[in-house]
């Protein structure tokens, strides 16, 4: 059964997760986000687990101002800062805020994404009241270097099974780049990327390369001929 969502699948096609260290600082994060949206990024998550709330809020506000409504912006984990930052919502992990508590804090209009790694996680999410969450972040799918405490990679086969079981749109994270974008598209997921855009010499071009690889695999077989 399809669940109600504030994030249609197309908004998750190319989902940028910011990394202040990879980009080189707050100014560089803002510039990267701006260039990546020009290149076709469809969603932005502001993430900096090393920043205190004051620093994180300053970063989030600058990103929100720069995005200027072009795509949705959510905050990683810090549900309590969403309203103050002007962001569109939050994304939480399995060990972060309870989804029901997060939804209560956010209200009915904000976006709430949830990370999952297993089919059991999906089943637990499906037991939540409709309208609690809007999409699933699935991963890590492949090995990655940007989140040292991440779960073990699940692989593209598990990604496909989770996408098939989920009543919400899914976005894959962990090792997603031009070389794996086709497998993500085939599984039915969008791409959540960090290092494939952050810290690259040309974030705009990097985004376009990701989207081209994803679109080639996502288009119907007859259109490829």
> Can you list the domains of the chain with their CATH numbers?
9-217 (3.20.20.70)
- Predicted confidence (pLDDT) per residue in 139-161, tens digit: 999 986 665 566 788 999 999 99
Nearest 5°: the CA angle 67, 74, 57 is 80
For 90, 128, 165, the CA distances from 2, given in Å and listed in that order, are 21, 13, 10
**Best CA proximity match to 121, nearest among 67, 170, 51:** 170
Per-residue model confidence (pLDDT) at position 200: 96
> What confidence score (pLDDT) does residue 219 get?
76
Residue 47 clears pLDDT 60, i.e. is over it: yes
Can you tell me the mean pLDDT for 95-100? 95
Tokens 């090393």 belong to 50
Q: Which of 66, 50, 26 is nearest to 146 (CA)?
A: 50
Specify the length of the chain in residues: 225
The answer to whether 71 touches 100, Cβ cutoff 8 Å, is no
Band of residue 123 on the pLDDT scale cut at 50, 70, 90: very high
Distance between alpha carbon 136 and the CA centroid of its chain, in Å? 9
The residues with which 114 forms a beta bridge, in sequence order, are: 92, 136
CB 11 within 8 A of CB 71: yes
For 54-67, what is each residue's pLDDT tens digit? 999 999 999 999 99
What's the mean per-residue pLDDT of the chain?
94
Give residue for tokens 């972040």. 137
| Full 3-state SS string of the chain | CCCCCCCCHHHHCEEEECCHHHHCCHHHHHHHHHHHHHHCCCEEEECCCCCCHHHHHHHHHHHHHHHCCCCCEEEECCHHHHHHHCCCEEEECCCCCCHHHHHHHHCCCCEEEEEECCHHHHHHHHCCCCCCCCEEEECCCCCCCCCCCCCCCCHHHHHHHHHHHCCCCEEEECCCCCCCHHHHHHHCCEEEECCCCCCCCCHHHHHHHHHHHHHHHHCCHHHHC
6-29 pLDDT tens trace? 999 999 999 999 999 999 999 999
């Amino acid at each position: 059964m399809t669940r109600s969502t504030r994030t249609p699948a197309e908004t998750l096609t190319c989902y940028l997760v910011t990394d202040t260290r990879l980009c080189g600082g707050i100014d560089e994060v803002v510039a990267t986000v701006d260039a990546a949206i020009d290149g076709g990024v469809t969603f932005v998550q502001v993430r900096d687990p090393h920043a205190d709330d004051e620093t994180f809020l300053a970063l989030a506000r600058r990103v929100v101002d720069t995005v200027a409504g072009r795509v949705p912006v959510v905050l990683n984990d810090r549900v309590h800062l969403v309203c103050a930052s002007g962001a569109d919502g939050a994304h939480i992990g399995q060990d972060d805020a309870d989804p029901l508590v997060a939804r209560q804090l956010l209200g009915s209009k904000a976006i709430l994404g949830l990370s999952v790694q297993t089919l059991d996680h999906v089943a637990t999410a499906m037991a939540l009241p409709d309208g609690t969450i809007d999409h699933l972040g699935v991963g890590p799918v492949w090995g990655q270097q940007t989140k040292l405490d991440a779960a073990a990679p699940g692989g593209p086969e598990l990604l496909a099974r989770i996408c098939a079981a989920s009543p919400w749109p899914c976005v894959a994270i962990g090792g997603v780049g031009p070389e794996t974008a086709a497998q993500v598209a085939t599984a039915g997921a969008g791409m959540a990327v960090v290092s494939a855009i952050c810290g690259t010499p040309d974030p705009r071009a990097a985004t376009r390369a990701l989207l081209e690889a994803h679109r080639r695999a996502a288009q119907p077989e007859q259109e490829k001929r």
